[in-house]
Amino acid sequence: MATVTTSVPEHDTPGQAPTAPVRGAWSPSSSPRALLAPVGPILATTAGGVALASSYASPGPFGATLVACAIVSVVLTLLLRSRFSALRTVLLGVPVPLAAVPVSAAWSPGEGEGVLHGAGEALLHSGARILTSTAPTPLSVDTLTLPLLATWLTGTATALAWRAERRGLVLMPGLLLLVGAVVINGPVAPPGFPAIALTGVAAVLVMSVRSGTGTADHTGAAAALSIQVDARPSVPSRVHRAVVVGSICVLTATIALVGGPRLLAGWETEPGDPRTVLTPPMDSSPAINPLGYLAGWAAEPDEHLLTVESDRPVELRWAALADFTGTTWLPESGYRKADGVLPAPVPPPPGATPVSGHVRVGQDLPGAWAPVIGAPRRVGLDDPGYDARTGTVATMDGPIAEQDYEVVGEVADWDSTDLTRASPPAGDVYDDYRELPPGAPAILNDVVASVAAEGPYYQRATALARYLRESHSFDPHTPGGHSYAHIDALLAAPGGQGGGGTSEQFASAFAMLARAAGLPSRVAVGFAPGTDQGGGEYEVRSGDAVAWGEVYFDGVGWVPFAVTPGGRDEHGTEDTAEQDVQDPEGTEAEDYEGSASDDHAVTAPGRDEPDQRGWTIGLTMSGCLLTLFLSIPLGRMVRTRIRLGSGPPNVRVLGAWRELLDGLRQASVPLSPGSTVSATVAAARDRVPGSDHAPGLDRLAHAVNSVGFGAGRDVDDAVAHGAATTVRTHLRSLRATRPRIKRLTWWFDPRPLLWRDRGHEARTWRGQR
């Protein structure tokens, strides 16, 4: 049906050319269909934010922010484009995300101080801050600004393409944002199948739903004469079209979410990590090498450093050092800004068990390194930095002294791990950990040639560790230093006795020897569990500080090796090794099995292991006291059962009477030694006034007198059973009258077990009828 109409705009005046109507105007109030039309562009814009959110420590707030940004950018661009040109639309829309940056700085501050300065820092350095942060990326204005602006520009470009009916270009900005998000995520985020599903649904909607905007440019008389063709589809046609589009959307999302993971299940290729492109700057901290503190701490081992609260003794990891200059060991890289949740170690520690603890650092612990448990997964510091290669945590805003935080880490189980078949890492990734700077002393090669020149990979590492432990001694008074010159003076030729030193020198010597043997190695510093203070609290002192060596094994990760000889015990006798150094050429790999506890149990030198005898004695005494405590109610219940349920009726009646007397005495009812049966029953009745078992007490008194004076001729099983029931009921009522504490401890009172029945029978026969 066609209709021809003529019209003159009301605002036009005679003699003046009519103005052109707005071209292709769109508004959210146009129609329900117009409201649904922008859904496709919005989903296309949202996909990148959904993919990127999985790599952030706070994916919920981050994803919600980007989704809101996508919706606002698309809707606002469509509204502005209905009145302005494309260039003006872009320029008018940009101030909105720029204004959101200071709001983000106030909501989640970054490294810049103040709202304006923080916003400026974020605008200039947001990309670098993302790449220098550890994954999962902490949420702040520094890491939010770049994704926020990218999402806004993507939504603007998508809306402009959709408004111009360029459907093939509508998806391009969103795809570029999605690819960028996947690249930034790298290997730390799961595959972005949900984002791909959103993109697929967006493509279906963009290709199926019209924008609802016109394209003709009406001017002059064309505005006064128009031909309208009523070609609207019928209602069933619209419903059919909606069902078809919806079905295709569901099918597309299902294929992406279900079929994608199945299709790529066997694909082992991992994406590259863009964070390796940028190295965070090193903190100019005066305490750059924690290894240098060990010599002074060994000489003064009783200085308080920190306190740990945990349900089990735990070793603490402080720092790892891999860059050797010939004079000292240094951290190999800077620390990336992190959130409280840290990424999982790759590869995971073998037999890992999550262990939590609460650390209270004293004022004398230097540097910014935070003592952590095993491979840390959660750290409750306000502004932590993290080095994923070494597992080291440091504070980004000052020293660690006097900090108080929770930590959760994964502790490896080396005893249950078979390392004899472990192999060196493949490729050249760990070549830097095998290199020694020029000037290495000749003793290194001599020791390696004699001790660890041949044999399996793990056997060579354990041979070097045992050589140091068994051919040298611990000397807490050794001056500090771990350079080539110090190690040259320390090491002895194989078969001889070397010098003395602290764990500082022995850890450095092991790492040098391992590198000379071709093993990737480094030095680690940490603390032994400390002294048990009771209640799950352990005090870590300066004497608990210890350094050890680590060697990398393919598929296992960095394996610790105990390399420091034992110190002197409290009697002044020096610890000696239980086994001689074994020749690796004549030792089978199987001979090393079962020795993991000796080779990998890192303990503080010069400190005795915790005395387990005290724990054993304490646990034994506690068990005996608990058994004795529980035996009281058990003994009383057994005696009550015997009194009321064993023997002929006469005996059970007297047993019920004894139970009543003990209960009255325990309840502090005053009874004189000469109290008659009637007086005793009256006292029992007075103590529980208004009770409904008074007749039973009278029958009990009659039965007791019958046993005492009439040989119990009228006492049968029914009478004995009634007496037992009466006594049990009355004692429950009597116990209810006692104070709360005495009610709770009624059955734990041992006195009734010690009271003798002598005299009870004598009082019984004094009853009067």
Question: Over the stretch 125-170, which tens digit does the pLDDT of each residue have?
Answer: 888 888 877 777 888 888 889 999 999 999 999 999 988 888 878 8
pLDDT for 213 equals 52
Does the pLDDT of residue 535 top 90, yes or no?
A: no
Joined tokens for residue 296: 């002074």
Classify burial at 184, counting beta carbons within 10 Å of its beta carbon; exposed 0-12, middle 13-18, buried 19 or more: buried
Distance, in Å, from the CA atom of 701 to the CA atom of 695, rounded to the nearest integer, reads: 10
Q: 663 φ, ψ to 5°?
A: -65, -40
Sign of the CA dihedral with 107 first, then 111, 116, and 121 last? negative
Distance, in Å, from the CA atom of 23 to the CA atom of 215, rounded to the nearest integer, reads: 7
| Mean pLDDT score, 102-126 | 86
Question: Over the stretch 569-612, which tens digit does the pLDDT of each residue have?
Answer: 333 333 333 333 333 333 343 443 444 556 776 666 655 444 44
Decide if 160 contacts 81 (C-beta within 8 A).
yes
Per-residue burial over 724-754, b if 16 or more Cβ lie within 10 Å, else e, is bebbbbbbebbbeeeeeeeeeebeeeeebee
| Mean pLDDT score, 466-482 | 88
352 or 271: which leads in pLDDT: 352
pLDDT for 8 equals 44
Does the pLDDT of residue 759 top 50, yes or no?
A: no
Calculate the CA 395 to chain-centre distance. 18
User: If pLDDT is split at 50, 70 and 90, which confidence band does 693 have?
Assistant: low
Question: Over the stretch 169-219, which tens digit does the pLDDT of each residue have?
Answer: 888 998 899 888 888 887 777 788 888 888 888 888 888 776 555 443 434
pLDDT for 464 equals 92
Calculate the CA 416 to chain-centre distance. 24
Does the pLDDT of residue 568 top 50, yes or no?
A: no
302, 305, 296: which is closest to 527 by C-alpha?
305
Q: Please, what is the Cα angle at 413 between 409 and 416, to 5 degrees? A: 160
pLDDT for 148 equals 92
Does the pLDDT of residue 736 top 50, yes or no?
A: yes
Sorted by sequence, the CB contacts under 8 Å of residue 5 that are 6+ apart come out as 225, 226, 228
**All structural domains of the chain:** 25-216+233-263 (no CATH), 290-332+339-411 (no CATH), 431-528+544-612 (3.10.620), 623-764 (no CATH)
What's the mean pLDDT when you consider all of the chain? 78
Share of the chain above pLDDT 70, in %: 80
Question: Over the stretch 643-654, which tens digit does the pLDDT of each residue have?
Answer: 888 888 888 888
The beta strand positions in 328-448, using DSSP E, are: 329-330, 336-337, 353-361, 369-370, 372-373, 375-379, 384-387, 392-395, 404-411
Distance, in Å, from the CA atom of 657 to the CA atom of 664, rounded to the nearest integer, reads: 11
84, 134, 468: which is closest to 275 by C-alpha?
134
Question: Over the stretch 657-668, which tens digit does the pLDDT of each residue have?
Answer: 888 888 888 887
Does the pLDDT of residue 764 top 60, yes or no?
A: no
| Mean pLDDT score, 465-477 | 89
Does the pLDDT of residue 540 top 90, yes or no?
A: yes
| Mean pLDDT score, 417-429 | 81
Place of tokens 């029958």: 699
Classify burial at 618, counting beta carbons within 10 Å of its beta carbon; exposed 0-12, middle 13-18, buried 19 or more: exposed
User: If pLDDT is split at 50, 70 and 90, which confidence band does 284 have?
Assistant: very low
Q: Which of 83-92, 197-206, 212-221, 406-415 has the lowest mean pLDDT?
A: 212-221
Question: Over the stretch 229-244, which tens digit does the pLDDT of each residue have?
Answer: 444 555 567 777 778 8
Share of the chain above pLDDT 90, in %: 19
335 or 710: which leads in pLDDT: 335
User: If pLDDT is split at 50, 70 and 90, which confidence band does 285 have?
Assistant: very low
Distance, in Å, from the CA atom of 340 to the CA atom of 386, rounded to the nearest integer, reads: 10
Q: Is 457 helix (H, G, I), strand (E, B) or coil?
A: helix
pLDDT for 525 equals 93
Looking at residue 521, the DSSP 8-state letter turns out to be E
299, 634, 697, 225: which is closest to 480 by C-alpha?
299
| Mean pLDDT score, 67-89 | 91
Q: Which of 7-11, 22-26, 249-253, 335-339 has the lowest mean pLDDT?
A: 7-11
pLDDT for 358 equals 94
Joined tokens for residue 670: 């005053």
Does the pLDDT of residue 523 top 90, yes or no?
A: yes
Does the pLDDT of residue 457 top 70, yes or no?
A: yes
